[in-house]
Structure 1
Amino acid sequence: MYRVLGPLHVSSEPGRVGKVPPGRQQVVLGALLLEANRVVSIEHLIDAVWDESPPATARTQVQICVSALRSTLAAVDRGDAISTRPPGYLLRVADGELDAHVFARLTAEAENLARRGDPRTAAELLRQALGLWRGPALSGTTSNALLAKAAKLDEDRLAVLETSLDLELGAGRHRQLVGEIGALVAQHPLRERLRGQLMVALYRSGRQAEALEVYRTGRDLLIDELGLEPGEELRRLEAAILTGDAALAVPSQAPPVEVVRQAVPAPAPQPVVPLQLPADIGDFTGRADLVARALRLLEPGGRATRVVALVGKPGIGKSALAVHLAHLLVEAHFPDGQLYCDLGGTRAHPATAADVLGRFLRAMGIPGTSIPDAEDERAEMYRQLVARKRMLVVLDDAAAERQVQALLPGSSTCSVVVTSRARLTGLPGARVLEVEVLDHDEATDMLAAVIGPERVAAEPAAATALIRLVGCLPLALRIVAARLAARPSWSLAWMLERLSDERRRLDELAHGEMMVRASLALTYDGLDVESRRLLRLLGALDGLSFPTWVAAALLDVELMRATDLLERLVDAQMLELVAIDVTGTPRYKFHDLIRLFAREQLEQHEEEDERRTALRRVVGGWLALAGEAHSRVYGGDFTSLHGDAPRWRPSRSYVDRLLADPLVWLEAERPTLCAAVELTAAEGMDEACWDLAVTLVTLFEARCYFDDWERTHRQALDAVRAAGNERGEAALLCSLASLQLSWSRARAARDLLGPALRTFEELGDVRGLALARRNLALAHHRLGENELAAPVYLSALEGFRLAGDPVGQAYVLAQVAQIDLENGDQELAAGRLYEALDICREFGNQRVEVQVRYRLSDLMARQGRNAEAEEALAELLNVVRAGRDIVGEARVLHRLAVVKLALGDPGAAEALLRTALEVRERAMDHGGAAETRAELALLLAGRGDRTQAVGLLGRAITTFAERNMSAARLRAQQALDLIRAG
């Protein structure tokens, strides 16, 4: 690959680089590349190297240069690229080998696409072309002849960039482009086209005053520098902004253009497109008429959301039909995403609408900190996000209308598929479709799809009899067919004879649930003793998916033995293989009806003591794995409390694979771990219950799963109080106080900590006291009571030292250092922060390290070391982005803006604050957005824009009042009063 769009560079595909010495060789190669595939005369090369004063040996020296270049190119498999052609040389370059050629090709293709009415793809190609540039063309060359041609390339780049910006502005990306165009105007202040684009972007973003200021600044610059007024186009644009000309509005039909940029800070992320549909069934057969009718009903249109409810008896195939319909619809009608949730209507504890709304909001990119507590507020946010989007929502296994109502979008561009055993006739606007048993032909097709058409064709009478005996019920038919598929030597007649032995049960196949139980009993009876026992014990678990080690724990056997037994159950269609976990091993799940059947068998054939012993092993496995995950995140078993419930540990090699990325594992297992807390609470396993709930805070806090945090702790709190478990209750209250602090409810946290502190003191629990005191000090600190917080922090610090908890010490040191900074004692703060940083790095605790580094940047700024602070924050920005910490990203951007302002770069500071504001608004972090608006208002006021500053502060004060952020509201009101007073 030859590169001239930037410093001259030569490389080959395997990554070898041809090093061209600077000076004459680079000039000669550059001249040949700029005329690639054309003969370049020696005289031209001489002029390029020496301009108008060549030496007498110039021709010879050029020949030497060419010879040396051939050797250099040979190192990258281009030894024959340069050939001698009178009156000089020719450098052969294949398609795609020279970046300048690729740039020209992409821009030409983009021009054609734009001309044919495809501006979106055109803009994407232009951005791809611009991505080839690594700096000014042939940067570093000293040849005047090459510099002239390089200047032409640079001018082409700017023209292409301006064209790309025009296309993207036409697509409605004005808010995202403001920062980029502003930076370009600063680099090229006399380019009127760029200045006009910035004016349009600002005007469409609701910033009319700033757009006019950009014009006035440009006009003054042109008059001062050139003695000229702006061109006619720019003058017309100013007039249009002043009059609010409708022609400046965003074109209504313009398709969105997504442009990826590498600059820091990056613009706010593009909206997330959720793709949650399960896989379609590869051998789905039948129901052609029902499918066609449902598709017509679900195609978006009209004034209301299209809702189709698929209802029918258990095992009828409603879920499979819903997923199949969804896959048929999404590509043509719902490009903005698909949301899916199993509502668990047949489980003991169905999902609540609030839970499902929380999941959907997360799937659409909203972080946990921004998700409201109340169900109606979540529903409002959900409807706002899906408004005018073309999305499909699939709600599987609904219990009743009230479970579904809040999950319906309010937009006619969306459609909803619901499945349920209930008829859901009270669901407004829903078209209810009854899902009946298969007809004979459809059932025959299903049987043939599973066992092969040749076997059905060989015994048509037996196939007909089998279908009749199972009543054409899809679940029962699939189970019988699976047994035949697993046993190729069996004839259909032999299977028919086996079923005939159970005539009474099969006669009941036409009578609701009994038919399913009978079919399942046939398969269950054919299992070996150990497989049957595993099936029974698995019935004690909830209906979520589970990994292989759970089966090993239930039976207390090796992992491979448990896997073999699970696969037998899969072969018998008693379990489903639903996914592959992070270790590459399978995950399994019951069909809900089979799970109910397994529970019946458990109650009939398993002693209660044996059942509880097996459950304790599984719970012990979750405790062991969650505790190990916490230790890997925190660098050890730090800042957490544990009980004495027994652990069950899988093999070390399996655990290492499973927890290679502990947070990824915790997030993947979150539903199952939360279900385990609920299970232990229901079973009265209070010690395991509180221990698991508290350990899971590692995940809940890192990923802002505040609803799960509260739910699991409330369940555990009921369990420990019923058992009189005082230490467990204190640990849960202490952890719930941390949750209240995460919600900025410091007074509520303080109220919870009183009883926890008393219990830990009575028990002499050193670590528990340290954790409770840390939280109490943090509550005082958040309330502005630094004189109360400082001594409690120091007491907690001593407690963590006594408990041998260095990470706990590091966290407290960072908090005390913040008080030191607020008190003006920078030296003491620095000592504490660097001590905390050393601890974090020694034990590998990145979470606390991020907090320490953030405070160190504050220290640097306070000490006037703004350049160091800028560098530290830039590194930290990469860390929080890599960790998907959106709230942390906004905070770092905010702090970086303050540092940029101190460095005398208000333009960069404003761009950073606007990016931070956009991130927080997209995340619906209203409190954080208000803080950013207040900071931005101060910056704008300092630059003389009092009108916009007053507006921003007014909005911020309103938000502070709504969210009871009294200290922030007071500061903002004082700033507003000062600005109004001049």
Structure 2
Amino acid sequence: MLGALLLEANHIVSTEHLIDAVWDEDPPSSARSQVQICISALRRLLTFLPVEAEIVRRSPGYQLSITPEDLDAYCFESLVQEAGNLAQAEDVLGAAEMLREALSLWRGPALSGVASQVLESKALRLDESRLTAHETCIDLELELGRHHELIGELTDLVQRNPLRERLRGQLMTALYRSGRQAEALDVYRAGRAHLIEELGLEPGEELRQLESAILAGDESLLLDSPAHVTATAASASVPEQPAAVLSVAPHQLPTDIPDFTGHRSLIETAESFLRGKDAEAVRIVVISGKAGVGKSSLAVHIAHRLSDEFPNGELYRDVRGSQPQTVPPADTLGTFLRSLGIPGPAVPSSVEERTATYRSMLANTQTLVMLEDVESEAQVVPLLPGSAGCAVIITSRTRLTGLPGALQLPVDVMDQEQSLELIGKVIGPDRVAAEPVAAAELTQVVGGLPLALRIVAARLAARPHWSLASMVGRLADERHRLDELAHGEMVVRKSLSLTYESMDERTRRLLRLLSVAESVTIPCWFAAVLLNDDAYRSMDRLEQLVDDQMLDVAGVDAGGDPRYKFHGLIRVFTRERLHENEDEPTRLTVLGRVTGAWLHIAEEAHRRLHGGDYTLLHGSAPRWKLPGHHLDRLLESPLDWLERERGNLCAAVMQAAEHGLDEACWDLAVTLVSLFETRSYFEDWQHTHGKALIATRSAGNLRGMSALMCSLGSMHLNQRRPSLARPLLESALAQFRELGDEHGTALASRNLGLLHYRQGELDRATELYRQALTGFRLHTDLVGEAHVLANMAQIELDLQQYAAAEDRLNRALEIVRETSSRRVEAQVLNKLCKTHLLSGDYERAEQVEGTVLRMVRDIGDIIGESYALQNLGIVYGRQRKFDTSERMLRQAVEVREGIMDHLGASQIRLDLAEILTVKGDTTEALAVAEKALAMFQERQAEQWSRRADEIVATLLDRG
């Protein structure tokens, strides 16, 4: 989120853009509240930076205000621009030094580690600017005669960017000027071999000219002027053969689509590129995308718009790359040569001769070539003209990244506005306007896929008596959705089947099995679990599915591994194939492995957070274990991993519950409380446990039911809902005792003890705490033991037994520090701060709570942060540091409001009202206290209402 704000610094960034940046196309229902929480956290972090920066609310989002000079990206661009000015003024030395200063600002790839498709393109543009500036800097330094010093740097750059011909030419020049002619030629030959082996292409004309000049020992290369070097190299090139004159001007493009809709930016980009009159090589545009996304329609539309730019005509061929029988290059070349006027008997027999003749025919012409449904670079390279006046438009379901200099245009599905426009053009805008809700639902159910949209629109156009709502109803059943998406020759299932059938069986099976799990996004290790296979081989198959456009890359995770996702209709298609090819026991076995993998990683995350399986019950569900080194990478920060995978983990609980995997679903649900409690995800807590409770009840799984009820009771305690917590905790305690589960009994006793404490029943609370303490000690549950000791100390604090409380808390602290549970350690320290506060030792209280605040912020414990801020506010108030106290308490209120804990925020407001009163701001104090009172009355919190009422009455009397 910080990256998104910084990339648009001093401009408003909408909340929707921030949500897209973080979650791409799958935001959770709580996305807006999470954005608010993150913004609050960023605001606090910015206060620690040595720059003037703040995030302010500006409708419809937020704006990060910062001095441009404090942004590296701004400084980099300014320095590059200034270097350009110096170079134009012929200050070569100054320009080179300025560019070196600009390059020194970089510390690695832009936005490294940020997994966001929305931000990826901007990061790539920054990286490209960096490399271009580096090349320009080296040109200037070569002109200054620094060729000796540049050889090492250039060698490294060429190795990291082997297809960058400008860098290779600079290295050849530096070596030649250093008297190393043979090595310069070796650099050229290595580059040529790499290009031929990888792409089947020869080096560009400029590099070939440079090689010729070095072979000839051209002394002009030793001069300092790069411009002179270029001219000299050009003069050493071999003269071109005269081109043949075309006897005909072919016009083979398919018919344009009159109601073509959308992709305006792609069209403008393609046209600008293809109109480039100063191009030094053939211009190539590669339009890629999944089946049905409209690649061909877009390509034909662009080609027709540019037909006037290519007076020598257009060649077109569908090479059928996605079908079993592809069209070989030799056949396409033969067709093209005949179209260009060569009689059939005169067409050469070999591919090489046909290619040479074809390129000779197109030399010095302006001809547009369109190749549809290309499978690979090898299928297209012989069909590329050699003349810079020509251009090629290619469509492919595979990303053809091996064509140097090609403009890559990945085509995505349409957004809602474009989708509605397309439907309206086919059936008439009046029908769309008459049913706006149903129209929007239609676009969503087909995921904006243009082929599906055209089919839906065509069926509606053919049946004017159908309502749009009726079409939505026909598409609602996922099992028959693809049956509905067929009209005449337009069939979504057929289009997807072509790609599916072209894969090998192992890859097809992986694609089918990927639809087993209801995952938001798919991590790279998923394939190994599905296939029960080696992780690396399986990951290669995922990448093959991406290349085949049956799977999309959703981003990159924190460890640098890619994540994947399905388009909705492709998921429907793969589920059809799943049910056709895999029986129910197999599907259930695979789902069990998937759930077992999530459970294995989640419980390991809990262990690393707390130092063991403390305060947690486990069941007997089988685990699918990832290799240790892979687990270490994933769980470098366990809580962050749980946060990133929250959507998938919750989905795994739901799916396990729906398919009767009761042991796995309750175990995973209670394990996730490590995340839910720390980050206040109460909706997820409630939803996962509710589903798991239904599954365990249905299976008669008493232990699972008890664990879930105990956990739900704890959730209600966190939310200050004792009336909901009590029956759950009492039922769990009784059931655990009946089962003889002493660990479960200890957990339920601890939670029930806290409930009785909050209701003022100290004797009953103490009794339950002692029972819990015995059970935790019996099971060596250190965190549980420390937690209960801290709760017992709280009772002693209430009874003003400060020495006893401090002694008990110190014992709890010793125990919890044997684990990794920093959250519980912070909770114990919180109570220790209260002990010092009540005994009048404000200095020690401040020291302890300052430590707590750093700890909870470090681990991302939002609730813990609010408590720490509140306690510090009270401590500073006792020290008569009223301004600091007010600031801390206001921050605590903001944190509580950010997690929707309005009751907790109102409790802190009472402390704030007291500080404001002492400062003499009674008007503000009264407003704060009255706001708190209204919340207490709304929630029927009688004890807090009485306290608030007393404060309000006192302030009114003063007024």
Question: Under TM normalisation by the shorter chain, which class is it?
Answer: 0.5 to 0.7
Output the CA distance in 1 between the equivalents of 2:955 and 2:9: 54
Return the letter of the residue paired with 1:733.
Answer: M
Match of 1:627 in 2: 603
Query: What is the CA-CA distance between 1:885 and the residue it aligns to?
Result: 3.7
Percent of aligned pairs sharing the same letter: 40
Query: Which of 940, 945, 951 in structure 2 is aligned with 1:964?
Result: 940
Match of 2:30 in 1: 358
- Counterparts of 1:533-682 in structure 2, within 5 Å, are 533-542=509-518, 544-682=520-658
SS of the residue corresponding to residue 557 of structure 1 reads coil
Output the CA distance in 2 between the equivalents of 1:785 and 1:435: 73
Query: Which of 810, 823, 842 in structure 1 is aligned with 2:786?
Result: 810
Match of 1:40 in 2: none
Query: What is the CA-CA distance between 1:872 and the residue it aligns to?
Result: 1.4
1:874 aligns with 2:850: yes
Structure 2: gaps spanning 5 or more residues: 42-55, 64-258, 275-283, 289-294, 304-309, 325-369, 385-391, 398-450, 457-484
Return the letter of the residue paired with 1:627.
Answer: E
Query: What is the CA-CA distance between 1:607 and the residue it aligns to?
Result: 2.4
Match of 1:389 in 2: 60
Query: What is the CA-CA distance between 1:490 and the residue it aligns to?
Result: 8.7
Output the CA distance in 2 between the equivalents of 1:469 and 1:561: 25
CA contact (8 A) 1:753 1:776 kept: yes
1:338 aligns with 2:16: yes
* Cα distance change of structure 1 residues 914 and 701 upon mapping to structure 2, 3 Å threshold: closer
- Counterparts of 1:427-576 in structure 2, within 5 Å, are 436=261, 448-450=285-287, 461-463=315-317, 481=373, 483-485=375-377, 488=380, 511=455, 513-514=485-486, 515-542=491-518, 544-576=520-552
CA contact (8 A) 1:938 1:949 kept: yes
Output the CA distance in 2 between the equivalents of 1:921 and 1:758: 36
Output the CA distance in 2 between the equivalents of 1:336 and 1:647: 42
Query: What is the CA-CA distance between 1:586 and the residue it aligns to?
Result: 1.5
Match of 1:746 in 2: 722
Output the CA distance in 2 between the equivalents of 1:273 and 1:627: 30
Query: What is the CA-CA distance between 1:920 and the residue it aligns to?
Result: 4.7
Output the CA distance in 1 between the equivalents of 2:313 and 2:772: 79
* Cα distance change of structure 1 residues 482 and 781 upon mapping to structure 2, 3 Å threshold: farther
1:863 aligns with 2:857: no
Query: What is the CA-CA distance between 1:692 and the residue it aligns to?
Result: 0.9
Query: What is the CA-CA distance between 1:880 and the residue it aligns to?
Result: 2.5
1:927 aligns with 2:903: yes
1:706 aligns with 2:682: yes
- 1:45-92 Cα offsets, whole Å, 9 max, x none, are xxxxxxxxxxxxxxxxxxxxxxxxxxxxxxxxxxxxxxxxxxxxxxxx
Output the CA distance in 2 between the equivalents of 1:485 and 1:536: 28
* Cα distance change of structure 1 residues 956 and 651 upon mapping to structure 2, 3 Å threshold: same
Query: Which of 826, 831, 834 in structure 1 is aligned with 2:810?
Result: 834
CA contact (8 A) 2:374 2:380 kept: no
Structure 1: gaps spanning 5 or more residues: 1-271, 278-326, 344-349, 370-384, 393-433, 471-477, 499-506
Output the CA distance in 2 between the equivalents of 1:913 and 1:776: 30
- 1:311-367 Cα offsets, whole Å, 9 max, x none, are xxxxxxxxxxxxxxxx9xx99985344347799xxxxxx99xxx8552122113279
SS of the residue corresponding to residue 843 of structure 1 reads coil
* Consecutive aligned runs of 4 or more in structure 1 exceeding 6 Å deviation: 330-333, 340-343, 366-369, 441-447, 456-459, 464-470, 489-493, 507-510
- Counterparts of 1:396-411 in structure 2, within 5 Å, are none
Match of 2:342 in 1: none
- 1:574-629 Cα offsets, whole Å, 9 max, x none, are 11222222322221112222211111111111222222212211111001000000
SS of the residue corresponding to residue 335 of structure 1 reads strand
Output the CA distance in 2 between the equivalents of 1:642 and 1:965: 36
CA contact (8 A) 2:493 2:573 kept: yes
SS of the residue corresponding to residue 842 of structure 1 reads coil
SS of the residue corresponding to residue 853 of structure 1 reads helix
Output the CA distance in 2 between the equivalents of 1:364 and 1:704: 14
Query: What is the CA-CA distance between 1:877 and the residue it aligns to?
Result: 2.0
- Counterparts of 1:130-141 in structure 2, within 5 Å, are none
TM-score by length of 2: 0.54
Output the CA distance in 1 between the equivalents of 2:665 and 2:39: 27
SS of the residue corresponding to residue 555 of structure 2 reads strand
SS of the residue corresponding to residue 760 of structure 2 reads coil
Task: Name the stretch that deviates more: 816-825 or 605-614.
Answer: 605-614
SS of the residue corresponding to residue 483 of structure 1 reads coil
Output the CA distance in 1 between the equivalents of 2:679 and 2:728: 23
Query: What is the CA-CA distance between 1:939 and the residue it aligns to?
Result: 3.5
CA contact (8 A) 2:320 2:373 kept: no
CA contact (8 A) 1:482 1:573 kept: no
CA contact (8 A) 1:777 1:792 kept: yes
CA RMSD, 1 decimal: 4.3
Output the CA distance in 2 between the equivalents of 1:831 and 1:486: 77
* Cα distance change of structure 1 residues 552 and 839 upon mapping to structure 2, 3 Å threshold: same
Query: Which of 898, 903, 912 in structure 1 is aligned with 2:879?
Result: 903
SS of the residue corresponding to residue 687 of structure 1 reads helix
Match of 1:382 in 2: none
Output the CA distance in 2 between the equivalents of 1:641 and 1:683: 22
CA contact (8 A) 1:276 1:338 kept: no
Output the CA distance in 2 between the equivalents of 1:362 and 1:838: 35
Output the CA distance in 2 between the equivalents of 1:958 and 1:610: 57
CA contact (8 A) 1:273 1:337 kept: no
Output the CA distance in 2 between the equivalents of 1:763 and 1:849: 31
Match of 1:289 in 2: none
- 1:119-176 Cα offsets, whole Å, 9 max, x none, are xxxxxxxxxxxxxxxxxxxxxxxxxxxxxxxxxxxxxxxxxxxxxxxxxxxxxxxxxx
Query: What is the CA-CA distance between 1:833 and the residue it aligns to?
Result: 0.9
* Cα distance change of structure 1 residues 386 and 942 upon mapping to structure 2, 3 Å threshold: closer
Return the letter of the residue paired with 2:36.
Answer: M
Query: What is the CA-CA distance between 1:521 and the residue it aligns to?
Result: 1.3
Output the CA distance in 2 between the equivalents of 1:605 and 1:480: 32
Return the letter of the residue paired with 1:694.
Answer: V
* Cα distance change of structure 1 residues 490 and 970 upon mapping to structure 2, 3 Å threshold: farther
Output the CA distance in 2 between the equivalents of 1:333 and 1:463: 47
Output the CA distance in 1 between the equivalents of 2:847 and 2:5: 39
CA contact (8 A) 2:907 2:944 kept: yes
Output the CA distance in 2 between the equivalents of 1:827 and 1:701: 31
Output the CA distance in 1 between the equivalents of 2:564 and 2:18: 19
* Cα distance change of structure 1 residues 806 and 435 upon mapping to structure 2, 3 Å threshold: farther
Output the CA distance in 1 between the equivalents of 2:15 and 2:513: 38
Query: What is the CA-CA distance between 1:542 and the residue it aligns to?
Result: 2.2
CA contact (8 A) 2:323 2:498 kept: no
SS of the residue corresponding to residue 784 of structure 1 reads coil
* Cα distance change of structure 1 residues 915 and 529 upon mapping to structure 2, 3 Å threshold: closer
Output the CA distance in 2 between the equivalents of 1:724 and 1:544: 30
Query: What is the CA-CA distance between 1:834 and the residue it aligns to?
Result: 1.1
- Counterparts of 1:738-817 in structure 2, within 5 Å, are 738-817=714-793
SS of the residue corresponding to residue 375 of structure 2 reads helix
1:715 aligns with 2:691: yes
Query: What is the CA-CA distance between 1:469 and the residue it aligns to?
Result: 12
SS of the residue corresponding to residue 650 of structure 1 reads coil
CA contact (8 A) 1:275 1:338 kept: no
Query: What is the CA-CA distance between 1:274 and the residue it aligns to?
Result: 9.4
Query: What is the CA-CA distance between 1:923 and the residue it aligns to?
Result: 6.1
Output the CA distance in 1 between the equivalents of 2:910 and 2:374: 65
- Counterparts of 1:876-895 in structure 2, within 5 Å, are 876-895=852-871
